[in-house]
Amino acid sequence: MNDRLDRRLRAATGAGWRVLVIWWLLLALSWVVYLVIMDRRPEWIRALWGGYALQWEQIQEVYVWLFGVMKIMLLAWLIGVLFLTFLRRGLKRAAEESG
């Protein structure tokens, strides 16, 4: 396999896996913060969301949608990184077999 292509694929997969881990950690941390906030329901959170026109149920619905969309994006990123990882392995294997 071309060394230049191998270096680029290795860099892309390495960066992709790092981003995936950081993204997952931030998502987990955000979920813990969400659970703490929704347990205590401080009034300053409603003020940050634009005053007292919003109810807690509406804020919870937005958070659940946000986490759902982030998980779907995380899954798409995972599929992309897995594709790059398997592509790199396949190309490396093919290059070793051909000589």
The DSSP code sequence of 55-80 is -HHHHHHHHHHHHHHHHHHHHHHHHH
* Residues 19, 74 contacting (CB under 8 angstroms): no
Token output for 36:
């703490």
Amino acid identity, residue 93?
Answer: R
Q: Mean pLDDT per 10-residue run, the chain (99 residues)?
A: 89 97 97 96 91 90 97 98 96 88
Question: Integer distance in angstroms from the first to the last C-alpha of the chain?
Answer: 10
**Number of structural domains the chain divides into:** 1
Residue 53 DSSP label:
T
Q: Which domain holds residue 81?
A: 3-98
Looking at residue 18, its pLDDT comes to 98
